[in-house]
Amino acid sequence: MSQVHLDIRGSIAEIRLDNPSKLNAFTVEMLAQLAAHLEVAEGHRDVACLLVTAAPAKAFCSGADINAWGGLSPAEFARDWVRGGHRIFDRLARLAKPSIAVLGAHAFGGGLELAAACDVRVMAPGATIALPEAGVGIVPGWSGTCRLARLLPEPMLKEMALFGRRIGADRCLEVGFVADVAEDPLAVAEAMATRVAELSPRAVEIAKTMIHAARDEDTGAMIEALGGAAIAASGDRAEGVQAFRDKRKPKFPGH
């Protein structure tokens, strides 16, 4: 049975974690389901924005289910669990469409890393964030010391990763990690997502690409995507394709 669901409502796609008995902690199957849903949401032409939510529980996501990785060999843990999860979270971060994480409850470990992979976050007043990995003898593995280092002040990140402290919603708002703190974070996120649908899809996509390139979120791919988009609209590209089809030497117009 699926524990990650995809619901598309007009211009809004919602990916919802649904493992409340384990505080929405990730299993191997859930990671695979998340990856599949991201592909569908990316390819759906009507979708303007993605919401990442979770079934009601004491945590938006408590991280990774220890039963899913506790018995892995060092090689399996590094190769399959850490690198595999990292690839999926990177896929979310590089989605062409904007994404919003709805933190109605605590986001710990992998749950915080999931939220960090979204473009913006909306948080409930009583929710907290934390990186508790050191308490079970591991370190953050799905961008907790990489992407979060670009989004949070270094002392705050160290408070969580080195000292095991939880950070509340107010402090998250103060440093800009969350866009808003609200009693109904889903309603706020849905309003934001509805607004995205009123904007130019290409302008939004390119603006996101430019921002990510500026903060070193897969800069090489972002630069090549922008270059590819520019050349694809050129007369040179049209002439090159047509000349290939006509089996003749191209005469590039230079524009």
Dist CA 163 CA 70 (whole Å)? 23
User: What are the phi and psi torsion angles at 223 (to 5°)?
Assistant: -65, -45
Has 190 been annotated as catalytic? no
Reduced to 3 states (helix: H, G, I; strand: E, B; else coil), residue 103 is strand
Nearest to 108 by CA among 206, 23, 212, 226: 23
Please tell me what DSSP assigns to residue 233: T
Dist CA 117 CA 103 (whole Å)? 13
Dist CA 218 CA 222 (whole Å)? 6
Has 159 been annotated as catalytic? no
Do residues 168 and 174 make contact, with C-beta atoms less than 8 angstroms apart? no
Contacts of 127 (CB under 8 A, 6+ apart): 60, 103, 104, 105, 106, 107, 168, 169
**Catalytic residue chosen out of the listed positions 14, 113, 159, 190:** 113
Dist CA 86 CA 109 (whole Å)? 13
Between strands 59-61 and 49-54, the pairing is unpaired
Do residues 88 and 48 make contact, with C-beta atoms less than 8 angstroms apart? no
Q: At what angle do helices 219-232 and 201-214 cross, to 10 degrees?
A: 140
**Catalytic residue chosen out of the listed positions 14, 133, 159, 217:** 133
Do residues 149 and 238 make contact, with C-beta atoms less than 8 angstroms apart? no
Radius of gyration of the chain (CA): 20
Q: Which residues are catalytic?
A: 113, 133
